[in-house]
Amino acid sequence: MTASKTPATLVTLPVTQCQVEGADTRELRIADLGPSTSLVQLTEEYFASLGDPRQYGRVVLPALPSAAIPLMAMMAHARGSLSLLIGLQPFRSTTVAGWINISTERHDDARTQRFEALKEERALIAPYVVIDCAPRALNPDQLNQLAEKLGCQAGDIGIVKADPGQVKIDDLGGEEGTRLQNLVYQALKEAGVSLANLQEAQQRVIFNAPPLGVVAAYMGLVLYGAMEVWPKTLRLANVGNNVFVVAEILDIQSTRQWVDTWVAEREASKPRVIVAGDVPEEFREELAILARQHNVEVRA
């Protein structure tokens, strides 16, 4: 029996924070990310710096929630499917306890559940609704900042709390993952989301993620499975003295579309060699080695 090959692994954290044998460690530098810096631009630049991100079948996501979600979406869609494994790194651990396939979590679980959970027709509880999974509620200043970015009044924003509390990260592929899925769907129902108003909800539901990247990514993935688009996501930034402001609303669905364009442009510009006729196998093998060295695609 032939052993299955371990997919290439990308670690986005410093070596001091996560160690995976054989991984390519490429830190996403977000420690000094302020309110005026675009996280979308930063993650797009990081993504493009990886060369061909499609080579990575496994990724350890950054700890910052608002960075973990868009990067997961970008890496997954670059591969042409959601076949991507994300590392389950417990809090304060430098090792990965396991991996989950986000395709399974999105299609086999969350997306299937949506038809039953959201079939009852409802109305959104407010013009805009925040699914708030952070332990601390948004304060009045943050609500006013969010309202300004949305072009509405603070009273037009409904809040549905869905704080997961302490999460057993190494069990996200098991009962703990089921608990988080149920929490997300309960929040969507309380927000008034249904299959009948899904298109409206896609534009008006905003995700305030829990504080740890892998948990935020998992809950964001469930929202994606439920709503068919990546959720608009809040990014809060520390401006000093532990004061957090609403820095931006991340449009992750648009970032996913940017990835599609990036991949298409890369494919169009990639050099190719077409091999036809009765070519000796030894020549094909040597050509394949040479093609890999020079990033040239060989087609038969």
- pLDDT value of residue 257: 86
Q: Is the pLDDT of residue 68 over 90?
A: yes
Residue 1 lies in a domain: no
213 with 87, same domain: the answer is yes
- pLDDT value of residue 81: 66
Q: How many domains does the chain have?
A: 2
For residue 10, the tally of other CB atoms under 10 A from its CB is 23
Task: Kindly report the three-state secondary structure assignment for every residue of 186-249.
Answer: HHHHHHCCCHHHHHHHHHHEEEECCCCHHHHHHHHHHHHHHHCCCCEEEEEEECCCCCEEEEEE
178 with 142, same domain: the answer is yes
Return the amino acid letter for 287. L
152 with 294, same domain: the answer is no
Return the amino acid letter for 249. I
Residue 187 lies in a domain: yes
195 with 164, same domain: the answer is yes
Assess contact for 125 and 189: CB atoms under 8 A: no
Q: How far apart are CA 184 and CA 98, in angstroms?
A: 23
Residue 3 lies in a domain: no
253 with 277, same domain: the answer is no
- pLDDT value of residue 1: 37
255 with 129, same domain: the answer is yes
Task: Kindly report the three-state secondary structure assignment for every residue of the chain.
Answer: CCCCCCCEEEECCCCCCCCCCCCEECCCCCCCCCCCCCHHHHHHHHHHHCCCHHHEEEEECCCCHHHHHHHHHHHHHHCCCCCCEEEECCCCCCCCCEEEEHHHHHHHHHHHHHHHHCCCCCCCCCCEEEEECCCCCCCHHHHHHHHHHHCCCHHHEEEEECCCCCCCHHHCCCHHHHHHHHHHHHHHHHHCCCHHHHHHHHHHEEEECCCCHHHHHHHHHHHHHHHCCCCEEEEEEECCCCCEEEEEEECHHHHHHHHHHHHHHHHHHCCEEECCCCCCHHHHHHHHHHHHHCCCEEEC
Average pLDDT over residues 270-278: 78
Residue 207: phi, psi to the nearest 5?
-105, 120
Residue 217: phi, psi to the nearest 5?
-65, -40
- Least-confidence region, from 71-75, 203-207, 276-280: 276-280
Residue 262 pLDDT level (bands cut at 50, 70, 90): confident
Residue 2 lies in a domain: no
222 with 294, same domain: the answer is no
Q: How far apart are CA 58 and CA 22, in angstroms?
A: 12
Report for 28-37, 160-169, 233-242, 268-277: range of highest mean pLDDT = 160-169
Q: What is the pTM of this model?
A: 0.86
Give strand pairing partners of 86: 59, 100
Average pLDDT over residues 225-236: 92
- Average of per-residue pLDDT values in the chain: 89
Question: Is the pLDDT higher at 287 or at 250?
Answer: 250
Q: Is the pLDDT of residue 298 over 90?
A: no
Q: Is the pLDDT of residue 281 over 60?
A: yes
Q: Is the pLDDT of residue 3 over 60?
A: no
pLDDT tens by residue, 76-131: 888 876 678 999 998 889 999 999 998 877 666 777 788 888 999 999 999 999 99
β-strand 157-161 against 85-88: which pairing, if any? unpaired
Residue 190 lies in a domain: yes
- pLDDT value of residue 274: 79
Residue 227 lies in a domain: yes
Residue 170 lies in a domain: yes
Q: Is the pLDDT of residue 4 over 60?
A: no
Q: How far apart are CA 89 and CA 23, in angstroms?
A: 14
Return the amino acid letter for 14. P
Residue 239 domain boundaries:
8-263
Q: Is the pLDDT of residue 61 over 90?
A: yes
119 with 253, same domain: the answer is yes
117 with 173, same domain: the answer is yes
Average pLDDT over residues 40-45: 89
Please give the distance of CA 137 from its chain centroid, rounded to a whole number: 23
249 with 276, same domain: the answer is no
257 with 275, same domain: the answer is no
For the chain, give the percent of residues with pLDDT over 70. Answer: 95
68 with 85, same domain: the answer is yes
Residue 53 lies in a domain: yes
